[in-house]
């Protein structure tokens, strides 16, 4: 059993990580600041799932609070899963300073304390947004990083800080580049959640652009499995995705079919800073981590629709 810190623990991915870690008898400390980027009550419900568990402790606070991070990590933390971030490509275009501070300076605060207190390994949640402009597809880890949004740029910055601290101090670090994660408890502002709720109410589904943009949609259980794999193996950066891609239009059509909806598709102006395509080459993760995709897009969408019906429409 290890003592593990999960930053952003009340969020979508963080809460699923906590679930898995507690199921494997680890001691988990979680921190979250309940930023109002989306409804804090959603995140409070996530963290309430673990309250009362003997191996769980929650701290409300910010990773930018260097004193707080130092106190938490000094108390025997062995591993850090860093999920806290200011997400949102579109939001980052409107206000680039906030993601820079949280994703860049926040990472530095965490790394400083992690080095000081000899953390065994820090696992950084990165993003496919680091790739940005397509030079070739699918993206392997050697693909140039040409982000097309301030959010993507901050994730590149965070990755470099993680690498540099490993090289200078010898601390084990790793960055996992997530590809469009979805599943129960996902952020409400993401397309799959919006499309699902619209379809279940037979409302028009808005698509930004002509629907030909593609994404590598990755079900949450695959992301969690990737994280668990790297606790004790791997170094550098890895793509954690499904290894397949789907257009936004096709995604909407799949959701309409699964929900037996009468929703119609309407198309809006494309959004600035939104990448044209993402598609993960996961061969490195398969070879070095024995990473496998257990739940594909179709099965994942069915699981998600069932969860939404149970939680929001029952």
Residues assigned a catalytic role: 151
CA angle 133, 298, 179 (to 5 degrees): 30
Distance (Å) of CA 258 to CA 21, 189, 314? 32, 20, 17
- Sequence-separated (6 or more) residues with CB below 8 Å from residue 287: none
Q: Are 215 and 248 in contact (CB under 8 A)?
A: yes
3-state SS class at 262: coil
Half-sphere exposure of 90 (CA within 13 A, CB side): 7
3-state SS class at 260: coil
Q: Alpha-carbon dihedral of residues 101, 107, 112, 118, nearest 10 degrees?
A: 160
CA angle 187, 189, 191 (to 5 degrees): 100
| DSSP string covering 115-148 | HHTT-SEEEEEEEGGGTBS-SSSSB-TTS--B-S
Q: At what angle do helices 297-312 and 191-200 cross, to 10 degrees?
A: 60
3-state SS class at 190: coil
3-state SS class at 191: helix
């Amino acid at each position: 059993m290890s003592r593990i810190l999960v930053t952003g623990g009340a969020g979508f991915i963080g809460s699923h990580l906590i679930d898995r870690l507690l199921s494997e008898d680890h001691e988990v400390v979680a921190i979250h600041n309940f930023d109002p980027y989306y409804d804090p009550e959603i995140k409070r419900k996530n963290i309430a799932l673990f309250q009362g568990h003997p191996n769980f402790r929650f701290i409300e606070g910010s990773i930018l609070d260097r004193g707080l991070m130092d106190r938490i990590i000094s108390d025997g933390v062995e591993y850090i899963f860093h999920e806290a971030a200011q997400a949102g490509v579109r939001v980052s275009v409107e206000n680039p300073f906030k993601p820079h501070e949280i994703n860049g300076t926040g990472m530095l605060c965490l790394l400083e304390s992690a080095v000081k207190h000899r953390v065994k390994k820090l696992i950084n949640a990165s993003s496919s947004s680091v790739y940005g402009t397509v030079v070739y597809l699918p993206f392997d880890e050697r693909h140039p990083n040409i982000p097309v949004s301030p959010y993507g740029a901050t994730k590149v910055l965070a990755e470099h800080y993680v690498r540099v601290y490993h090289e200078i101090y010898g601390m084990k670090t790793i960055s996992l580049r997530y590809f469009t994660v979805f599943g129960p408890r996902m952020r409400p502002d993401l397309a799959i959640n919006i499309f699902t709720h619209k379809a279940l109410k037979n409302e028009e589904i808005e698509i930004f652009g002509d629907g030909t943009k593609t994404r590598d949609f990755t079900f949450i259980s695959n992301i969690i499995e990737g994280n668990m794999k790297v606790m004790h193996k791997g170094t550098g950066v890895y793509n954690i995705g499904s290894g397949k891609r789907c257009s936004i239009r096709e995604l909407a059509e799949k959701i309409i079919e699964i929900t037996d909806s009468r929703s119609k598709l309407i198309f809006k102006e494309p959004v600035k800073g939104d990448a044209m395509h993402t598609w993960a080459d996961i061969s490195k993760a398969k070879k070095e981590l024995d990473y496998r995709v257990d739940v594909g897009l179709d099965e994942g969408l069915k699981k998600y629709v069932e969860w939404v019906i149970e939680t929001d429409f029952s």
